[in-house]
């Protein structure tokens, strides 16, 4: 695989990060964004998780940076999977718990799901084949 050209899973992760970041500035519930009062410390984690996963991919592909094999005890693929999973889980929980859902919450869900699906695709691509 060409080291410069991202795979479809990596494109999904970077695109999902952008969607989640844009959605975080829209209303998630009532007139509150993910950066607003009352939502800031908790809901803000969703776009942050997505952006970290997207930036990890972008830095590796476009920044010519080679990350270490282990980051905080996780491989880069495992870290992206964990970030995508928790962002998607948190988005779903907020969607269920919110009284008045806004467009931002749906974009957070779509973006975090794209990061998760992209991380799964990248993990499957990097998994050794048995045969």
Q: What is the pLDDT along the chain (131 residues), one digit of tens a residue?
A: 445 789 999 999 999 999 999 999 999 988 899 998 888 888 999 999 999 999 999 998 898 888 787 877 888 888 999 999 999 999 999 999 888 889 999 999 999 999 999 999 999 988 776 65
Task: Report pLDDT for 66.
Answer: 81
Find how far residue 130's CA is from the centre of its chain: 29
Nearest to 29 by CA among 99, 78, 88, 76: 99
Each as own residue / partner, the long-range contacts of residues 63-68 (CB below 8 Å, 24 or more positions apart, any chain) are none
Task: Report pLDDT for 1.
Answer: 47
């Amino acid at each position: 695989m060409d080291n410069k050209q991202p795979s479809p899973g990596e494109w999904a992760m970077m695109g999902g990060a952008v969607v989640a970041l844009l959605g975080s500035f829209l209303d998630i519930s009532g007139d509150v964004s993910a950066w607003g009062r009352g939502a800031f410390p908790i809901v803000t984690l969703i776009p942050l998780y997505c952006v970290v996963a997207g930036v990890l991919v972008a830095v590796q592909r476009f920044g010519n940076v080679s990350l270490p094999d282990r980051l905080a005890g996780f491989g880069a693929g495992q870290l992206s999977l964990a970030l995508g999973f928790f962002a998607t889980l948190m988005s779903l929980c907020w969607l269920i718990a919110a009284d008045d859902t806004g467009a931002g919450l749906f974009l957070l869900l779509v973006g975090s799901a794209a990061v998760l699906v992209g991380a799964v695709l990248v993990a499957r691509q990097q998994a050794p084949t048995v045969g």
